[in-house]
Structure 1
Amino acid sequence: MSGRELAPAFTLGDAREAGLSKDQVYSLLDRDEIERVERGVYIRPDSIPPAFINLAAATTLHSEATLCLTSALVHHDLSDAIPFASDIALPRGTHHPAGLANVNWHSFDPRTFQVGREHVEVGEGTRVTIYSAERTIIDCFRLMHQEGSDVAYKALRRWLRRRGNTPAALLKVAGSFPKALPRIRHALEVLL
C-alpha cells in the first residue's frame, strides 16, 4: 500500500485500520510519501495547503476542532497578522490533544460552540471547520482582554467595508452572546 491510498491527514490508528502496520507507516515516512505532524499524526505532502495543516491534524484527533480568533481573522482576510501558531477551539470540558506543536488551544462554551461554524474543504475531501467572519469578530470583542481592542476594531472596520456585510447580520449572530452584544452595538455606533 502506498501513502496515496490514505486520507490527506491521518493518525497511526487510521493507518492501521487501512491495513498498514506500524513498520509500513515508518517505511512511508522514510520514503517521504508521508510527513509526521506530531507523534501519531501524519499528512500526505502537498495534499493539504500549509495554512490548514495544523487544523487538519487537530481535526483527525478531535472532530470538533475549529479555527478561531486571529487564525480565523487571517483566513477571512480581516487581519494582516502572521500567527506563529494556529488558534483552535474545542468545547469547554473537552480534553485538548497533547503533542500538536504550533497550536494555541481555546475552550469555548459548549452551548454556543456550534454558532457560526463553517465547514471548508481543504483538499482531497478533507473537511475542516472554521468560525465565520461574524462569529470571529464577536469572539474578538468577547475576548478583548486577551486579543486586544485594536484587533477587534480593525477586523470590524475591514468587515464593514465589504459589500454585502451589514450590521444586522453581525447583530443576529451576536444575539447568541448576550454579554458581548453591548460591546458590539457600541462598536457599530462608533464606526457607523
Structure 2
Amino acid sequence: MPAATLLRAGERATSRSTFYRRANAGAYERIARGLYLPSDADAADWDWLEAAAKHPKATICLTSALAYYDLTDDIPQALDIAIPRGSRTPATEGAIAWHHFAADSFGLGRTTIAIPGSNMHIGIYSPERSIADAFRLRGSLGYELGRDALRRWLGQGGKPADLLEIASKLPRTRGPLLRTLEVMA
C-alpha cells in the first residue's frame, strides 16, 4: 500500500467536481473538512494528519507527548497540540486539544517526526520538555503526571542536568522540579 498522501479538495489537476465524484465513488476517504486520503493508503493517525495539515507549527505536547515516549500510562482523551501564542486556533473535527505556548520558548525542545503511514511530518516536544511542561502546568494537568513521568524517565536513564536546563527556561518549573528530584534521590 502507498504511504498516505493528504489531499485537499480541488488540489489535484482534476476539477473540483471530478474530485468529489471520485470521493463519493470511494477513491478517497474524508478525514476532515477539505482533507482526504486515497482509500488504498496505509493506515495513519487521522488526528496527527489533521493537526499537521491545519497548522504548520503543530507540535505534540503534554500527555500526548509523554504517551508517545512511554512516560505515562494515561491515555489522552484528545491529541494535545501546541501552537505559538497569538496563532489562530484551527477549526478541526478530530479529537484535538489545542494549547497556546509562549512564542519565545515555543521551539525549546521541539523536533519533528514522520507521521507513521504517511509522507507528512509533525512537531513533537522532547521528553525533557514534556516533563517540564507537566510540572509547569501541574495545576491543570494534575501533580501526579509530571512526577510519574519523571520517575519513568529517570528509570530509562534520563539525565537530570538536561531536564533542569530546559526547566530553567520555562516559568514556574525549576523549583517544583528540583524539590521532586530531591525527594526521589
| Contact 2:136/2:171 (<8 A) preserved | no
Matched residue, 2:135: 141
In structure 2, what is the Cα distance between the partners aligned to 1:150 and 1:6? 38
Structure 1 residue 49: Cα displacement: 4.9
- Pair 1:9 & 2:6 matched: yes
Distance 1:28 1:86, change over 3 A: farther
Structure 1 143/49 Cα, relative in aligned 2: closer, same or farther at 3 Å?
A: farther
Instruction: Give the root-mean-square deviation of aligned CA atoms.
Output: 2.2
**d(CA) in 1 for partners of 2:41, 2:69:** 21
Which sections of structure 2, spanning at least 5 residues, go unmatched?
A: none
Change (3 A) 1:57 1:46: farther
Matched, 1:173 2:170: no
Map 1:117-128; keep pairs closer than 5 Å.
117-122=110-115, 123-128=117-122
Q: Counterparts in 2 of 1:20-59, with a 5 A limit?
A: 20-45=14-39, 47=41, 49-50=43-44, 52-59=45-52
C-alpha displacement of 1:45: 4.8
Work out whether residues 2 and 42 of structure 2, in 8 Å CA contact, stay in contact via their aligned partners in 1: no
Partners of 2:64 and 2:80 within 8 A in 1 = yes
Do the aligned residues in 2 keep the contact of 1:141 with 1:152 (CA within 8 Å)? yes
CA offset digits 1:59-106 (Å, max 9, x no partner): 112110111111111111111122221111111110011133311111
What TM-score does the superposition give when structure 1 sets the normalisation length? 0.86
Once residues 39 and 58 of structure 1 are traced to their aligned partners in structure 2, the CA distance between those partners, rounded to angstroms, is 12
Paired residue for 2:66? 73
Find the counterpart in structure 2 of residue 184 from structure 1: 177
User: Could you give the per-residue CA deviations for residues 104-127 of structure 1, whole angstroms, max 9, x where no partner exists?
Assistant: 111100010111111111244311
Query: Could you tell me which amino acid in structure 2 is paired with residue 141 of structure 1?
Result: F
The 8 Å contact of residues 42 and 57 in structure 1, kept in 2 or not, is answered as: no
Aligned residues: 184
Which of 81, 85, 89 aligns to 1:88? It is 81
SS in 2 for 1:84: coil
2:152 is the alignment partner of 1:154: no
Q: Which residue of 1 aligns with 2:101?
A: 108
Provide the rounded CA distance (Å) in 2 between the counterparts of 1:64 and 1:155: 25
TM-score, normalized by length of structure 2? 0.89
Aligned position for 1:99: 92
Q: Greater CA deviation, 23-32 or 136-145?
A: 23-32
- In 1, the alpha carbon distance for the partners of 2:3 and 2:152 equals 40
* Cα distance in 2 for residues equivalent to 1:6 and 1:17: 18
